[in-house]
Chain A
Amino acid sequence: MNSLGLTLARAILVIPVISAGLLALFPDDRFTARVNVLGTLLTFLASTGLFFVRPEPSPFLIVDDVNVVFIVLTTFVGFTTSVFSGSYIAHELEHGRLTPVYLRFYHAMYQTLMFAMNLALLANNVGLMWVAVELATLTTVLMVGIYRTPAALEAAWKYFILGSVGIALALFGTILVYLAARSVVGEGLDAMAWNVLVTRAAAFDPALLNLAFVFLLLGYGTKVGLAPLHAWLPDAHAEGPTPISAVLSGLLLNVALFAVLRFKMVMSANPGALAPGPLMVSLGLVSVLFAAFMLYRRHDIKRMFAYSSIEHMGIVTFAFGMGGPLANFAGLLHMTYHSLTKSAIFFSVGHIAQVKGTQAMADIRGLTVSHPVLGWGLVLGVITIVGLPPTGIFMSEFLIITSTFARQPALALALALGLLVALGALLLRLNGLAFGNPYGSEARSKASFAPMFAHLALVLAAGIYLPPALVSWFQHVAKLLG
């Protein structure tokens, strides 16, 4: 059993590397697109195996309740995104926005990114996870800049600098954690292994842990895109290719937040350490309110949804900051739902921007008339993302707000206000985008709608029924999160 699990875990890492190599080699774009899909599909299939068999934690790799869901989620979204990317890239090639050379680069980078994220999730070693996150940052930087327009380059550059500083801070935090662990666990790999850290955390030096957590929160928080560390996020989403926006919002943010969660577990396992709650709550609340107001003055459709991602990361951080079984559970749910929904939205937005030939919302109107499927897909996505039922996000927001309000009414009110303001902004834009008289090109889009609706259907179903296994894992994690 264990060996099978280990092979699966390794496969999840190896398959992307191999396909990255292949994709770097092959010139033909049709073919590469298929290989890309195939690679992600295989990874996904391998990861689903982890639901049933789990390897014993090795010094470098671990599969537990905490990451199993996110691994599968990541590989799944990676797969659907690669499907979407196929049709997206084809269009880009037709219109010459990408040359075959860049395409090879793009696909290789895509697989590398998948590898990096899977590694970050699977890593049982703090340092290894850090390296993985850095790798992910580098690859995404390169992909954001791939269109080489001045705007794209600047976005990439901004992302690069801020990301690097964040990474640096995170590294310092990691070192501190090692220091804290060393005196208890002893030198060597064990002092950086998750399973060891969580179990032994009680004896660590609280002061070191506190300091470490500050740096980790800021470092990885930069990657999560929490205000005021968010600056790179909107532009990176707006200027890069849409599949990358989908992966960024849907997965990379989650991965960074996942790292924060791991460390929060260590924190909450230590009685002496300061409660990380207040820090996370305030960061989350600031992000929600800030993003909510920023939504109003957006003209670029992708940038708007990027801000909505900031908002939702804020919500999740807020939930984990509040802690308690309900809020933590809700936070985990919200992470999952958000990555599905937001990537679905970016799928539809990508196609919309392609058929309309613009990302300016002023020039996109009446989609439900001109492009019913795309339009209604967008409507469905937005309705889901603002948390209207019967979708999963409503469930998570319900749990977060109700469980908060009984404890901290003021905070809950602030959060509710943020949600309402954001909802107002998004619906206002949705009105213009989806309804009214159509405007602009009516060209049919050769889009692949399957990924979008698959995601939305999942979120919808999850809002009504949750599989017990998932519930039990999340509840266990919620307990660990304290």
Chain B
Amino acid sequence: MDRFVLDVAHLFAGGLVLVSFLLLYQDRMFGLLNTFALHALVVSLSVAWQAYIQAAPHLYITAAIALIVKAIIIPVALHRIIVHLGIHRTIETVGGIGQTMLAGIALVALSILVMLPITAEAGTLAREDLAFSLSVILLGLLMMISRRNAVSQVIGFMSIENGLILAATAAKGMPLVVEISVAFSILVALIVIGIFLFRIRERFDTVDVHALERFRGERA
């Protein structure tokens, strides 16, 4: 039984990494959104499972937030933003998808390598889960910097957040998880609103189309 419990948790964590790779793989806007919804779904499942095995009911809240906000509301909102702002349907990537995937694999390897020396008594599945969540975080960052497109960058950021929540929930009995996840959801929501308010069409670093390049501090 115990073995099985751990394996399921393990499965969810691994699945999350897999979905992150799927995110990296996407080059179409709506496909990206759907994949992200899946990402959020996996997270919420894993959180719920953790809530169950740790008998920590407050984690169900986190799971719920993950499900509702990130698996449903935000994808929908982003969908509408894309339509409304007429953002290109394709995603401009830095370097080909291939290199990105390779880099991603390297990152996963790195995170496992980093986690190796951690002694076991930190928690039996802590090491693996940490390795996975670290990979998710790194992949999210990779996504943020390898996409020239606001929405996909937001999604990258949110996948980072998912990785964090995974880690937080895997850390057995960690207090304040709910508060933290709430705070984080606010952050994400603000970012999404920001995109909408500031009319960010393509990239983070242009607030307005005709503001391109002009207001970036001083070009000496």
Contact = CB atoms under 8 A, between A and B. Distances in A.
A and B together in one complex: yes
Interface of A: 125, 127-128, 130-131, 134-135, 138, 149-151, 153-154, 157-158, 160-161, 164-165, 167-169, 171-172, 175-176, 178-180, 182-183, 187-189, 191-192, 205, 207-208, 211, 234-235, 238, 297-300, 303
A172 B176 contact: no
A234 B187 CA distance: 22
A299 B180 CA distance: 41
A276 B107 CA distance: 23
Contacts of B118: 205, 207-208, 211
A157 B194 contact: yes
Given A127-B176, A160-B194, A187-B172, A205 B119 contact: yes
B2 interface: no
Contacts, number: 132
Nearest to B176: A127
Interface string B105-148: 00000000011011101110010001001100100010010000
A58 to B, nearest CB: 14
Contact of A179 (B123, B141, B208): B123
The majority secondary structure among interface residues of chain A is helix
Contacts of B134: 172
Contact of B217 (A168, A192, A235): A235
Interface of B: 114-115, 117-119, 121-123, 126, 130, 133-134, 137, 141, 144, 153, 157, 160-161, 163-164, 167-168, 171-176, 179-180, 183-184, 186-187, 190-191, 194, 198, 200, 204-208, 211, 214-218, 220
B175 A188 contact: yes
B167 A211 contact: no
Given A165-B157, A175-B174, A192-B175, A157 B141 contact: no
B187 A134 contact: yes
Contact of B117 (A154, A175, A207): A207
A106 B139 CA distance: 37
A150 B212 CA distance: 10
B175 A160 contact: no
A168 B164 contact: yes
A361 B41 CA distance: 53
A182 B168 CA distance: 13
Contact of A150 (B115, B167, B208): B208
A171 B218 contact: no
Contacts of A175: 164, 167-168, 171, 174
List the 6 shortest-distance A-B pairs measured between CB atoms, nearest first.
Answer: A187-B173, A151-B215, A127-B176, A207-B117, A297-B220, A150-B211
Contacts of B163: 172
A178 B174 contact: yes
A299 B218 CA distance: 7
A172 B164 contact: yes
A254 B41 CA distance: 39
A33 to B, nearest CB: 28
B191 A164 contact: yes
Contacts of A300: 217-218
B204 to A, nearest CB: 6
A223 B143 CA distance: 22
Given A127-B175, A165-B144, A179 B126 contact: yes
A407 B29 CA distance: 56
